[in-house]
Amino acid sequence: MLYKIGTSKFISMTYMLMDIIPVVGRLNLFFQKENVDVALVKVNLDHCLHQLHSLKTVPGPYEHQLDTDLDIVAKQFKQHEISLSPHHDVQSVKVKFLNNLIGNITERFPDTDLLTAFGVLSMRPVGLLSGKDLHDWGDEAINVLIRHFGEEKEHTWVDEDKKTNTSKSDLRSAQI
């Protein structure tokens, strides 16, 4: 077992993952909250994807630390003897791994505009808007929700005379 983990390739890959996993971990923790704010989904996704794209070209803190901890010439990692792995190109493996990870995240959340549109339901910024801005606020987000979820609905209710009434409405024709 020591032979497998005591190699420059294993150590390099571990340091690479130490830069990547916290980025994905923060996104994971966001979705584990008891009350996820759907208005922040796109922001968190965009931030995670931006950081992952950045790691393809800009070394992370652990990748910088690897230069200090791993001495290829002396075949040592933090004063411990290791074996050198032949032809391990960490950068190409890192880029391939990041491309697959970014692709998986993007595939899982293809329509972030719909998720962002749910933020209109919280009405959080309403108190900060002026009269004109307040009049137009939320129209675009509501239209996104209507386009996605709008279909004819049938509603049944009982009026004061205990008669059952049915009406049909079309959310697509709703006026805002």
- Burial label for 84, CB within 10 Å (0-12, 13-18, 19+), is exposed
87-111 pLDDT per residue, tens:
668 888 999 999 999 999 998 887 7
The pLDDT of residue 90: 83
Q: Per the domain annotation, does 163 fall within a domain?
A: no
- Note whether residue 162 is domain-resident: no
Distance CA(21)–CA(109), nearest Å, equals 19
Query: What value does the mean pLDDT of the chain take?
Result: 80
Show the CA angle centred on residue 91, arms to residues 88 and 95, nearest 5°. 125
Would 161 be classed as within a structural domain? no
Domain contains 93:
yes
The length of the chain in residues reads 176
User: Is 0.95 topped by the overall pTM?
Assistant: no
Q: Is the model's pLDDT at 136 over the cut of 70?
A: yes
pLDDT surpassing 50 at residue 176: no
Residues 95 and 122 occupy one common structural domain:
no
pLDDT at 175: 45
Here the tokens at position 2 are 């020591």
For residue 159, which amino acid is it? D
Same domain, 105 and 118: no
Range of the domain at 148: 112-152+168-176
Q: What is the pLDDT of residue 108?
A: 87
Reply yes or no on whether the pLDDT at 168 is more than 70.
no
Asked whether residue 116 falls in the same domain as residue 54, the answer is no
Per-residue pLDDT tens digits for 61-71: 998 898 888 87
- Local confidence band at 171 (pLDDT 50, 70, 90 cut-offs): very low
Query: Are 99 and 144 in a shared domain?
Result: no
Q: Judge whether 160 lies within some domain.
A: no
- Out of 60, 92, 110, pick the residue that ends a domain: 110
pLDDT digits (tens, 9 = 90+) for 35-92: 887 778 888 999 999 999 999 999 999 988 988 888 776 777 887 787 777 766 888 8
Predicted pLDDT of residue 30: 93
How many domains does the chain contain in total?
A: 2
